[in-house]
Amino acid sequence: MSQAQLYRITTRIAAVTALSAALACGNDADPLGPASAPNEGRIVWEAARDGNREIYVMDRDGSKVTRLTNNSTDDQNPAWSPDGRKIVFHSNRDGNIEVYVMNADGSNQMRLTNNGARDQNAAWSPDGRKIAFWSNRDGNFEIYVMNADGSSQTRLTNHPALDQIPSWCPDGRVLFGSERDGNGEIYIMNADGSNPIRLTNHAARDFNPYCSPDGTKVSFWSTRDGNMEIYTMSINGSNPTRLTSNPARDANPAWSPDGKRIVFWSDRDGNTEIYVMDADGSNQIRLTTELSEDVAPDWGTVR
**Residue 149 pLDDT > 70:** yes
Helix (H) or strand (E) holding 66: strand 66-67
Residue 265 CA to residue 58 CA, distance in Å, equals: 15
Strand partners for 163: 178
**Helix, coil or strand: residue 180:** coil
Q: What is the pTM of this model?
A: 0.87
**Structure confidence by residue, pLDDT tens digits, 281-291:** 999 999 999 98
- CB count within 10 Å of CB 178 equals 23
Examine the pLDDT at 12 and tell me if it is beyond 50: no
The SS3 call for residue 39 is helix
User: How far apart are alpha carbons 259 and 184 in whole angstroms?
Assistant: 26
Residue ranges of domains in the chain: 43-300
Alpha-carbon span 294 to 279, nearest angstrom: 21
257, 40 in Cβ contact below 8 A? yes
Q: What angle do CA 301, 83, 57 make, to 5 degrees?
A: 45
Mean pLDDT of 12-37: 40
φ and ψ at residue 123, rounded to 5 degrees: -145, 140
Given the candidates 3.40.50.720, 2.40.50.150, 3.30.360.10, 2.120.10.30, the CATH classification of the domain at 43-300 is 2.120.10.30
CA 120 to the chain's CA centroid: 15
Average pLDDT over residues 17-27: 36
DSSP state letter for 153: -
